[in-house]
Amino acid sequence: MATAKKPAAAAKKPVAKAAPKAAPKKAVAAPKKVAAAPKAVAKPAVKTVAKAAPKAAPKKAVAAPKAAAKPAVKRTPNAAFMKPLTPSAALAEVVGAKPLPRTEVTKKVWEYIKKHNLQNPENKRNIDADDKLKAVFGGKKQVSMFEMTKLISGHLK
């Protein structure tokens, strides 16, 4: 609303300035021009008001198609996540030696963690490392699940 008030105020200023300029012309010019000058001044004021209303309406109309277009677009997998990467020797003991995409490596590490019951029972976001995972986690006994993915990425080439 604040932006709507500013253009209206700006429109009033040119009208006020146009009136004093028209006054000297009235005295010098013929009476026919005097009649034309007020009409010209009145028309821009009406047009600016008329222009402001249509501008507001298209913005609302444009917003609706954008919202409708977003659900229609299907997500495509990122190629970087799908690229097969070779795990290091330490990580290969957990997930296997053959190249796997980053997403599959994370899934296999989680399978290993759940199979060997390595999640901390008090705080399930923490993983208690066994001997194989300690090598992957850089010798740490306990790692958060968010730190785990960072440490795993260092073992993929």
Q: Per-residue pLDDT averaged across 22-27, rounded?
A: 53
Q: Per-residue pLDDT averaged across 112-118, rounded?
A: 95
Q: Per-residue pLDDT averaged across 52-58, rounded?
A: 54
The answer to whether the predicted template modeling score (pTM) of the entire model surpasses 0.75 is no
List phi, psi (to 5°) of 123. Answer: -130, 100
Name the more confident of 8 and 135. 135
Beta bridge partners of 156: 87
Euclidean distance between CA atoms 32 and 29, whole angstroms: 8
Q: What is the pLDDT at residue 73?
A: 72
The rounded percent of the chain whose pLDDT value lies above 90 is: 45
Name the more confident of 128 and 77. 128
List phi, psi (to 5°) of 38. Answer: -65, -35
Q: HSE (CB half, 13 Å, CA atoms) of 59?
A: 5
Radius of gyration of the CA atoms of the chain, in A:
36
Name the more confident of 123 and 75. 123
Euclidean distance between CA atoms 121 and 6, whole angstroms: 61
Compute CA 85 distance to the chain's CA centroid, rounded to the nearest angstrom: 30
State the chain's mean pLDDT as an integer.
74
On whether the CB atoms of residues 127 and 119 are closer than 8 A, the answer is yes
pLDDT band, very low/low/confident/very high, at 147 (cuts 50, 70, 90): very high
Q: What is the pLDDT at residue 130?
A: 94
Q: What is the pLDDT at residue 111?
A: 95
Residue 117 Ramachandran class (φ > 0 left, ψ -120 to 50 alpha, else beta) = left
Cβ atoms within 10 Å, residue 45: 15
